[in-house]
A = this chain, B = another copy of it.
């Protein structure tokens, strides 16, 4: 396979805790320490590799946050049986995401206007019914292909009646541009749905196609909602991936 460096090079520019973390990862993968067993004690590891216990703890804490290892007070640091049923999916900013994949993102604003809140909007935004709110609809493109249909409902701030277009129209940015308040809390819900006739037309797919529905609610310091958003991601072009365990 590969050459193993089963020691810590203190003269290296790579931090000792990082070297030790990789070393322990490697030894776990190799089977020196099996799931259910414990690592040597922190003191022992420190002596073995000639580093201080705090540095050992730093390495173990990284492994612990990756769920590779689980320290137990008074007992030892156990090698975890990896739990691949517990998965974390990241949904990143559309523009950043596309750029990272080498795809050119863009957006087109379909509509932007004031509206009086109906019952549903009033409840979501916790404002009185018929209060004005700002409504946005836009399409996000990846290499000229429509990928996301985006709607936003934003609490109306009298001070700022403007409706300028933004290059990266995330809900957070639009809320900050049209409202003095900086959102401090976010609740997001990921669902699946089938597209309506109108939605599928805008996204250039067949009606009743499957899509991700990402709902987002933003709150200010006082736990008041300041914006609500619903984004429909084309199911045939979008997916989330997640890696667990020990990868290189």
Contacts and interface: CB of A to CB of B under 8 A. Distances in A.
A148 to B, nearest CB: 12
Contacts of A171: 84-85
A208 B208 contact: yes
Interface of A: 29-31, 35, 65, 81-94, 96, 170-172, 182-194, 208-212, 216, 218-219, 221, 235, 239-247
A81 B192 CA distance: 30
Contacts of A65: 65
B185 A85 contact: no
Contacts of A30: 221
B172 A241 contact: no
A84 B218 CA distance: 9
A240 B187 contact: no
A193 B188 CA distance: 21
Contact of A241 (B188, B193, B209, B241): B188
B35 A189 contact: no
Nearest to A194: B210
Counting chain B CB atoms within 10 Å of each CB, the highest count among A84, A93, A172 belongs to A84
Contacts of A245: 183-186, 219
Contacts of A192: 192, 210-212, 235
A18 to B, nearest CB: 15
Given A29-B221, A210-B194, A210-B210, A186 B84 contact: yes
A188 B91 contact: no
Contacts of A241: 187-190
Nearest to A54: B54
Contacts of A218: 84
